[in-house]
Amino acid sequence: MKQSDLHDLLIKDFDYYKEGKNAQYIPALSQVDPKQLGIALYNLQANELQTCGIPEKSANVRFAIESISKVPVLLLAINDNGLDGVFSHVDAEPTGFSFNSLLNMQIEQRKYPLNPFVNQGAIVVNSLLKGKNSDERFARILDFMKEIFNDNDITLNEEVYHSESKTGDINRSIAYYMKGNGIWNGDVEDVLDSYFKQCSVNVNAIDLANLGALLANGGVAPWNGKRIVSEESATIVKSLMLTAGLYDESGDFSMRVGVPTKSGVGGGLMSAVPGKYGIGIFSPAIDKPGNSVAGMKLLHDVVQELNIDIFA
């Protein structure tokens, strides 16, 4: 896309941040400046990365990955255990409840968590990783993220991690509920520690565009031609992103925007448009379900402009 056209879309959508609010339940996220909108577009056909931001360098700003971490951790768990080894512990059904709801499990008396992108499922998936404790699992997550995001500077945001850990009582309830009901049999505090850490890794919009491009490219990193995950894993993850990537707003988003996307409450959006584009967006103010308000508007407009809605 012409740089000036992309910039015009950012100008058009920037003010939507006013309709959202930074995540308040994690104190470190509430402090981030909401007046930021950055995008990175990885065009697979041209093998080119384009960025744009208001302020200008917003695509390079680092922010907490939060729920988008559920994608690389799921891919690593599949690499470790195979597809059956993961999906014999977690289902792949969408949810009409919030990402940290306990109600769905109670109402439906589920045997397994609904899907890997709600917190119940993500906690179970983290526990499936090879590694005998939180330190070992998290060291592997960080190495894998560096590879899959093509970014050696990825680090843990200690402030967000301490904030998550200190205020993570709902996640503790979810984990103890699963354990108490025989849904899962892990070491709650140890697994939550690596779960809080996976959510607290700092990334930028360029990293997210790279992961989107790798998924759009069937699991092969387009920047060096190396296969990092199987084609089948990439396909499955894209399907899950479409049905469950934006929490209980996934259906509406898929109808309006039509590209597989995963969001995080840090304000990130990561999209994979099969065979065409990886897209990363950052704007910290989110709506009630937990998705970046200006980010979703911008993604909608970019998808329309490039004519890449997968259903169109």
CA neighbor of 219 nearest in space, from 124, 152, 147, 155: 147
**Coil, strand or helix at 156:** strand
Q: Is 56 flagged in the annotation as binding?
A: no
Q: Is 158 flagged in the annotation as binding?
A: no
188-199 helix and 119-128 helix, angle to the nearest 10 degrees: 110
CA 220 to chain centre: 19
Q: Is 265 flagged in the annotation as binding?
A: yes
Q: Which of 127, 247, 283, 302 is catalytic?
A: 247
125 is a catalytic site residue: no
195 is a catalytic site residue: yes
247 is a catalytic site residue: yes
Which member of 22, 58, 100, 115 binds ligand GLU (CB under 6 A)? 100
**Is 171 among the residues that bind ligand GLU (CB under 6 A)?**
yes
Which member of 199, 205, 299, 303 binds ligand GLU (CB under 6 A)? 199
CA distance 225 to 207: 17
- Work out how close the CB of 99 gets to ligand GLU at its nearest, in angstroms, rounded to a whole number: 5
Residues in the chain: 312
**Is 198 among the residues that bind ligand GLU (CB under 6 A)?**
no
Which member of 13, 66, 193, 248 binds ligand GLU (CB under 6 A)? 66
Q: Is 176 flagged in the annotation as binding?
A: no
Torsion sign (Cα): 299, 302, 305, 310: negative
Q: Which of 17, 58, 61, 70 is catalytic?
A: 70
CA distance 252 to 255: 5
Cβ(49)–Cβ(69) under 8 Å? no
CA distance 231 to 263: 22
CA neighbor of 153 nearest in space, from 81, 74, 233, 62: 62
- Work out how close the CB of 175 gets to ligand GLU at its nearest, in angstroms, rounded to a whole number: 11
Q: Is 247 flagged in the annotation as binding?
A: yes
Report 115-154 residues binding ligand GLU (CB under 6 A): 119
Q: Is 161 flagged in the annotation as binding?
A: no
**Rg of the chain over all Cα atoms, to the nearest angstrom:** 18
70 is a catalytic site residue: yes
- Work out how close the CB of 117 gets to ligand GLU at its nearest, in angstroms, rounded to a whole number: 8
Farthest CA pair distance, the chain = 56
Nearer to ligand GLU, 26 or 209 (CB): 26
67 is a catalytic site residue: yes
Q: How much of the chain is in helix, strand and coil states, percent to nearest 5?
A: 50, 15, 35
**Is 22 among the residues that bind ligand GLU (CB under 6 A)?**
no
Catalytically active residues, by annotation: 67, 70, 195, 247, 265
Interface residues with ligand GLU (CB under 6 A) are 66-67, 99-100, 119, 164, 171, 199, 264-265, 290
Mark the binding-site residues for substrate, compressed into ranges. Answer: 67, 119, 164, 171, 195, 247, 265
